């Protein structure tokens, strides 16, 4: 039931300045302070939340570009002069919705601000029932990135024990999980990353069979042949461009590619071309792009699968946490320069 005691507080926000071409700059995201009434109007079905954690995700770069039909069909663009939006973990302060009450914890889409008013629709927000694990995990391992890894690997790639798996951007929020899921299946898995530190993390912490720094490879085709002399069964695609081109000619017959993202392309004015597309035909490769929200109906199934592994210590998850909303712009933009190690998120407030 909505609160009867009005209270107005300050509300820090990150405002979107305008549409971006090329690499975004911190000036494209402005820190400001406004006020908000901590009371939901009578008869409203919205909820008011206090944001605890905000997630930094590569798809958010797409939202910064000038609206166009193709990208807008996947994710809506940010609105100029308004707070940017993203996924977050929040606590309910006031509610006019029958399914949420004060004190409930949830994850879903919120504004980049201290407090957000949320209008609910199917699968937009999920109540958090399992609090024996870190709440921050719901921005990653137990939230959208985890569900992305699960859907892309299991639902699209249909892995089999003993198959060979390659993961690009493998130390990121999604890639680190795909590799561990592959090992749980008994697959041979190799990842690529952009630094020696990340490569070491893949091999020593996440259990990848091998890994390489793509920045140190003069020829990606040769590198892939070194790690996959008999070819790749499954490629989990996170980067696009030259890596995708090299992977295509190293795929096995009837290989599968789950296209999760193409972070190497998001900041380019002219995207890289891909030259080996004929291989898809010759080797009968399945290439499928996907959006995680198409699989949110399987979220409870995902939790049933992953939570026991987490509690038993069979899955490791590395987070890269920045404190303070005012540090949000630099934290987010660091994603596009490979500065994060693991899942990047912002601690806005402690519960």
Does 229 share its domain with 337? no
- CATH code for the domain of 93: 3.90.180.10
pLDDT at site 5: 47
Domain that holds residue 225: 144-293
pLDDT score at 198? 94
Q: Are residues 281 and 207 in the same domain?
A: yes
Q: How confident is the model over 341-350, as pLDDT tens digits?
A: 889 999 999 9
Half-sphere exposure for 79 (CA within 13 Å, toward CB): 6
- Minimum mean pLDDT among 10-24, 34-48, 64-78, 329-343: which range? 64-78
Residue 298 lies in a domain: no
Looking at residue 270, what is its pLDDT? 78
Nearest to 263 by CA among 126, 168, 155, 145: 168
Residue 1 has pLDDT above 70, yes or no: no
Average per-residue pLDDT in the chain? 93
Alpha-carbon gap, residue 237 to 251, rounded angstroms: 13
Is 301 a member of any domain? Answer: no
Q: What pLDDT shows up at residue 216?
A: 95
Q: Exposure pattern of 143-160 as b/e (b: 16+ CB <10 Å)? A: bbbbbbbbbbbbebbebe
pLDDT at 333: 93
Q: Give CA 303 to chain center in angstroms.
A: 17
Count up the domains in the chain and report the number.
Answer: 2
Sheet of 188-193, strand order: 210-213, 188-193, 164-167, 232-237, 251-259, 286-289
If you average pLDDT over residues 28-33, what whole number do you get?
96
**CATH number where 232 lies:** 3.40.50.720
Q: Does one domain contain both 238 and 287? A: yes
Helices and strands of the chain, counted as H and E runs: 10, 15
Shared domain for 136 and 192, answered yes or no, is no
241 in any annotated domain: yes
Confidence of residue 330 (pLDDT cuts 50, 70, 90): very high
Q: Given this model, what pLDDT does residue 294 score?
A: 93
Same domain, 125 and 166: no
Same domain, 124 and 257: no
Q: Give the model's pLDDT for residue 13.
A: 97
* Cβ burial 35-64 (10 Å sphere, 16+ → b, else e): ebebbbeeebebbbbbbbbbbbbbbbbbbb
Alpha-carbon separation of residue 137 from 119, 140, 142, 334 (angstroms): 23, 5, 5, 20
Residue-wise pLDDT for 73-125, tens only, equals 778 899 999 999 999 999 999 999 999 999 999 999 999 999 999 999 888 99
Dist. CA 32–CA 75, nearest whole Å: 25
Could you tell me if 158 and 288 lie in one domain? yes
Q: What is the pLDDT of residues 157-205, one digit of tens each?
A: 999 999 999 999 999 899 999 999 999 999 999 999 999 999 999 999 9
Q: How far apart are CA 240 and CA 259, in angstroms?
A: 9
Domain match, 262 and 334 both = no
pLDDT in tens, 241-291: 899 999 999 999 999 999 998 877 777 777 787 899 999 999 999 999 999
What pLDDT, on the 0 to 100 scale, is given for residue 6?
53
Average pLDDT over residues 129-136: 96
Residues 276 and 155 reside in one and the same domain? yes
* Residue 308 resides in a domain: no
pTM over 0.85: yes
């Amino acid at each position: 039931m909505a609160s009867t005691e009005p209270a107005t507080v300050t509300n820090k926000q990150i405002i979107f300045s305008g549409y971006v071409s090329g690499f975004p700059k911190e000036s494209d995201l402005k820190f400001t302070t406004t006020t908000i009434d901590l009371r939901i109007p009578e008869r409203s079905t919205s909820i008011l939340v206090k944001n605890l954690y905000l997630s930094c995700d590569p798809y958010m770069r797409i939202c910064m570009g000038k609206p166009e039909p193709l990208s807008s069909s996947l994710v809506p663009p940010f609105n100029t002069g308004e707070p940017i939006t993203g996924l977050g973990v929040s606590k309910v302060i006031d509610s006019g919705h029958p399914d949420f009450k004060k004190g409930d914890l949830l994850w879903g889409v919120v504004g980049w601000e201290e407090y957000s008013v949320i209008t609910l629709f199917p699968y937009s927000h999920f109540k958090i029932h399992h609090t024996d694990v870190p709440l921050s995990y719901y921005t990653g391992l137990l939230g959208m990135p985890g569900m992305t890894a699960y859907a892309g690997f299991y639902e699209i790639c249909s892995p089999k024990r003993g198959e060979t798996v390659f993961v690009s951007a493998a130390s990121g929020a999604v890639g680190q999980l795909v590799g561990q899921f592959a090992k749980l299946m008994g697959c041979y898995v190799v990842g690529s990353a952009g630094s020696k530190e990340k490569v070491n993390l893949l091999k020593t912490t996440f259990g990848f069979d091998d890994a390489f720094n793509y920045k140190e490879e003069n020829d990606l085709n040769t590198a892939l042949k070194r790690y996959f002399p008999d070819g790749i069964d499954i490629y989990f695609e996170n980067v696009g461009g030259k890596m995708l081109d090299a992977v295509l000619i190293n795929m096995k017959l009837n290989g599968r590619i789950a296209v999760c993202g193409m972070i190497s392309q998001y900041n380019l004015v002219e995207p890289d071309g891909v030259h080996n597309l004929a291989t898809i035909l010759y080797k009968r490769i399945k290439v499928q792009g996907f959006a995680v929200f198409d699989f949110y109906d399987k979220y409870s199934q995902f939790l049933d699968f992953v939570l026991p592994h987490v509690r038993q210590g069979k899955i490791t998850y590395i987070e890269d946490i920045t404190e303070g909303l005012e540090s949000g712009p630099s934290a987010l933009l660091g994603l596009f320069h490979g500065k994060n190690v693991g899942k990047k998120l912002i601690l806005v407030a402690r519960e």
